[in-house]
Structure 1
Amino acid sequence: MEHYKSWGGLNRQLCEYLCDELKERVTYFLTRYHEVHNSYGRAAIRLDGKELVCFSWIEMYHQENDISILYEEEKESSYGEMTARMKPKWDKDCTYCEMDFLDAVLQFRNMSIKAALQSENYIIRILAVMDRRVGKRTLMRITDNKEYKKYPVWVQQFYELRL
């Protein structure tokens, strides 16, 4: 994972990227529980103070459990292969922890907006669709082709919020 100075700096950068309509309404949250084993934490994206999606350390255990079950079935598969097989399930259920969110944020800030909108990572897509750099024509194209309707409900809500 890329190094960063502080969550406050990343948070400010994310908030600066927000489109004008969402600037005062959407907030990002990340905390680490340093007193807890392995400094677990949680992250969230909020609209008007209400959490729309939460990324918690608990989901990391669900991911590990899924991988363990898959490993028992197929001992020859690599960790990367098993993770790739589980991704559709994790995408559908939003089985992502705060470190997945943080990793997506760090990737997003170094991507073009076009690449971010086409990313396979739904968290990056969410950040991109709320970005002020997405133009009116791109928004119209997204609205017209309605491909976002195929995405999981937790992702669709951000597209509908922006559109």
Structure 2
Amino acid sequence: MATWSGIRHKLETEYLAISLRGHIQYFVTTYSKSPDHEGRAAIRYNGKEIIKGNYWNQYVKAHLFPKDDTYERRMHEGFPFIDNTALELGVFDQRCFYQAFDEFENQNIDKSLVSDNLIVRIFAVLDRRVGKRRLIAMRNLMEEQAPVFQEFYAIRVHHEGL
């Protein structure tokens, strides 16, 4: 796997839309003094963290998830997928970003835009390969999307002047 600095460089320079450069920052850290070397992750817009999560939230807030298939899937798969609830509660960490980036980088942009992993979809909507026509076409589908995805979509549309 690539280093975080390499992943961040790709996300912020190679993939990020030109209109968003300098506005969107990806943040990941691992706490080396933590016994398990756990950390946190965030996506910032103009210095404000839009989404943020850390490893410890997974255990502190796990009881807030309804005890259904989604909860069981998270517990048994080690939180490999991220949905709106996970982003709102901050129950993801740096490894979730690494997994999301790996999925994002190894599939085409069309698959990334419809991924089950919400972080992958966010990476995709901020991607330079999603042009103005596609952003306009996506407008009709925004009501079905998670609120946090809608927020990143709105940021992108604003900076594209649409």
TM range (shorter): 0.7 to 0.9
Displacement after TM superposition at 1:117 (Å) = 0.3
Relative to structure 1, the CA distance from residue 82 to residue 44 in structure 2 (aligned partners, 3 Å threshold; closer, same or farther) is closer
Aligned to 2:107: 111
Give the number of aligned pairs: 151
TM-score, structure 2 normalization: 0.78
TM normalised by structure 1 equals 0.78
Structure 1: gaps spanning 5 or more residues: none
Q: Which residue of 1 aligns with 2:95?
A: 99
Contact conserved, 1:92 with 1:152, CA < 8 A, in 2?
no
Q: Is the 8 A contact 2:84 2:147 kept in 1?
A: no
The higher radius of gyration belongs to 1
Counterpart check, 1:128 vs 2:124: yes
Secondary structure class of the residue paired with 1:14: helix
Counterpart residue type for residue 30 of structure 2: R
Q: CA, structure 1 residues 62+101, in 2 after alignment: closer, same or farther (shift >3 Å)?
A: farther
- The Cα of 1:102 is off from its aligned counterpart by 2.0
Change (3 A) 1:102 1:65: farther
The 3 A distance-change label for structure 1 pair 24 and 40 is same
Report the identity percentage: 32
Specify every segment of 5 or more residues in structure 2 that has no aligned partner in the other structure, as ranges: 158-162
1:42 is matched with: 40
Between the aligned partners of 2:74 and 2:92, the Cα distance in structure 1 is 18
In structure 2, the residue corresponding to 1:96 is in which secondary structure?
coil
Query: Structure 1: how far apart are the matches of 2:149 and 2:89?
Result: 10
Counterparts of 1:154 and 1:87, CA distance in 2: 10
Counterpart-to-counterpart distance in 1, 2:32 and 2:86: 26
**2:155 matched residue in structure 1:** 161
Deviations 1:133-154 (A, max 9, x none): 01222111112x1x22333322
Find out whether 1:7 has 2:7 as its counterpart.
no
RMSD: 2.9
- 2: CA distance, partners of 1:100 / 1:14: 15
